[in-house]
Structure 1
Amino acid sequence: MYYLLYGFLYLASLIPLRILYALGDLLGWLIFDLAGYRRKVIDQNIYLAFPERTDEERKGIRKRFQRNFIDTFIETLKLISAGKSFITSRMQGEYDKFNTLYEKGLRCQVHMGHNFNWELGNLAYGYYCKHPLLGVYMPLKNKAMDRIFRELRSKTGTILLPATDMKNSMFPYRDTQYLLGLVADQVPSKVHQAYWLNFFGHPTPFIPGPEKGARAGNIPVAFVSISKIKRGYYYLHVEIAEENPSSLEEGELTRRYRNFLEETIKQHPDMWLWSHRRWKKSWKPEYTARWIDLVPAPSQAVDPYKETVHP
């Protein structure tokens, strides 16, 4: 199955990008307009984040998001056969900030969100930066697709660490100079152990591991976002959030990341993955000990999807 699927995808990736984009536009119409893929979830999420905007403005965000979603799929397909010149010409950015940390002899943690096109950003990193990149990923259930994505994501040197065995996977690199890439806007599975903050005004659980790891090892942390210059061309923005995270109080690094992520989404709302239910875990008063925001914790249960009615 692997060789058959890989062969098909490789041949498809050789099709000129302009033709793939045209096919992608048709695919987007079929998936989103005709089939209505996750329409309710997307509209709910955008409304929860931007209730002050008009229906037309929110519809515009959804339409642009849907195109970016399909473009990311098409561009990821193209990456199967793409070489260095294709990748570096389409993803540029502030990579020198990582190399400055490397020259100081420092490791680095990167915290970013589901910001298009993260697959292209991962591959471009290998051509620009000196740190070996350790990328945390969630293994796919389909073995053939999992192998294809592992090979694709590691083609420029990224060392993949399965999120299902993070502790053991990190062990061989614990004393090396690395850059650890973390998508930090995932919904935690253990909400009673999560950090809870307001995110776009709604109680939201954040994974505690990124902050705890950075503070325990005093590993500098960078926040990363990606903006779109034009179709197929991107720029990677890097903000060094803290070089000495062990000096911070618990929760401060996560608050800074929350603020960074919110501002990134406000600036480029169509570039974030609205099709996943970011507020699917409800706040309960018994989580108060895990509330790290600077405003008081809610005194009663909160489920934004139930309590906010989309007009």
Structure 2
Amino acid sequence: MQFLVYILVYPLIWLISILPFRLLYAFSDGLYIIIYKLVGYRKKVVQDNLRLVFPEKSEAEINDITDKFYHHFCDLLVEAIKSLTISEESMKKRLTFTNVELLTDLGKQNRSIVLMCGHYGSWEWIFILQTYLEHKGYAVYSRLSNKYFDRLVKRIRAKYDSTLITTKETVPALTRSKLEGELTINGFASDQSPQVERAFHWSEFMGIKVPIHTGAEMLAKRLDMSVVFFRVKRLKRGYYETTFEMLAHDPNEYPNYEISDMFTQKVEKQIREAPQYYLWTHRRWKHRDKVPAEFQ
């Protein structure tokens, strides 16, 4: 059944991916009508999240952010599909880096990197970064249930010599790389909600106390890797600019969880500047009523 679904859907994905950008975004506009106006995909989740973190905003403002978010969300979907066939030249034109030398300088210092980001702006095309660096690239992801689509995602990411690894594979893979003397850059989207029973740290995110992902920080400390945040700014439709910001050159010099809190504050700042570009479909604040006594 998985293979049948794959062979039926893949041709459509490929056809979408080869569309010129003007037609690609016209397709996105149609997708917006279906996903938001007709189906209302996770609309309640999106608006409940917005009302929760922006209690000062009116319903008209919430509706405006919601509308802009779904336009951006559909653009993200088609841009992810475009990754299948987009050329390196085109991707470099559409995703630019203002200070990639921060990362190349770390390479000269023989420092591996933990690269942290939120689900904000565009993270789909970040893999082009590999063409600027000598570091070996790893990205932590959740394996897809359909093994054929899982292989497709891995193939797309591997275009620029990046390797996708699951959470379970992360520590052994990166420990082996360190023992072999390999410089690595390791991507983590660390703003989503961890399993509450495995949460070691709770802190405020958008004014609400929630469990915080600390895995990236702990791995950086364990393997002595510098921690860098990447900020994404949407310039115009289909064009993004990324700026790197050092969080911790030597992570073991920081108290536990301070780096994770610094990261959370960076993501929050982005959201407050332009909330429509955050991934509001996730239930990020679902554990807010389960705060342990020691964190209240």
Answer yes or no: is 1:64 the counterpart of 2:77: no
Note if 1:268 corresponds to 2:270. no
Q: CA deviation at 1:285?
A: 5.3
Further displaced range: 124-133 or 196-205: 124-133
Question: What is the CA–CA distance in structure 2 between the aligned matches of 1:128 and 1:56, rounded to whole Å?
Answer: 44
Q: Which residue of 2 aligns with 1:95?
A: 100
Q: Normalising by structure 2, what TM-score? A: 0.92
Aligned to 2:53: 49
Q: Is this contact kept in 1: 2:196–2:287, CA < 8 A?
A: no
Mapped partners of 1:172, 1:285: distance in 2: 36
Structure 1: how far apart are the matches of 2:100 and 2:119? 19
> How far apart are residue 54 of structure 1 and its match?
2.4
Q: CA deviation at 1:150?
A: 1.1
Between Structure 1 and Structure 2, how many residues are aligned? 289
The answer for unaligned runs of 5 or more in structure 1 is: 292-296, 298-311
Residue 199 (1) aligns with residue 205 (2): yes
Could you tell me whether the CA contact under 8 Å between 1:90 and 1:232 is conserved in 2?
Answer: yes
What do you get for the CA RMSD once the two structures are aligned?
1.7
- Identity %, equivalent residues: 28
Q: Is the 8 A contact 1:88 1:127 kept in 2?
A: no
In 2, the alpha carbon distance for the partners of 1:117 and 1:34 equals 25
Number of the residue aligned with 1:105: 110
SS at match of 2:131: helix
For residues 222 and 98 of structure 1, the distance between their equivalents in structure 2, rounded to whole angstroms, comes to: 9
Q: 1:114 aligns with which of 101, 119, 142?
A: 119
Tell me which moved more, 106-115 or 188-197: 188-197
Deviation at 1:271, TM superposition (A): 1.3
How far is 1:273 from its partner? 0.3
Deviation at 1:192, TM superposition (A): 4.6
Distance in 1 (alpha carbons) for counterparts of 2:88 and 2:174: 28
Q: Deviations over 1:195-236 (max 9, x none)?
A: 100111111111121111122233211011211100000001
Distance in 2 between residues matched to 1:173 and 1:114, nearest whole Å:
27
Q: Which runs of 5+ in 2 are unaligned?
A: none
Distance 1:72 1:240 in 2: 26
Q: Secondary structure of 1:118's partner?
A: coil
Cα distance in structure 2, aligned partners of 1:194 and 1:41: 26
Q: Take 1:267 and 1:282, find their aligned partners in 2: how far apart are those partners?
A: 23
- Equivalent residues of 1:191, 1:281 under 8 A apart: no
Contact persistence 2:202–2:291 (CA under 8 A): no
> Which position in structure 1 is the counterpart of 2:241?
235
2:94 counterpart letter in structure 1: R
Q: How does 1:201-216 map to 2 (within 5 A)?
A: 201-216=207-222
Correspondence for 1:73:
77
Query: 2:114, 2:225 within 8 Å by CA — same for their partners in 1?
Result: yes
| TM-score normalised according to structure 1 size | 0.88
Matched residue SS, 1:280: coil
CA contact (8 A) 1:96 1:129 kept: no
Q: CA deviation at 1:121?
A: 1.7
Which residue type is aligned with residue 106 of structure 2? L
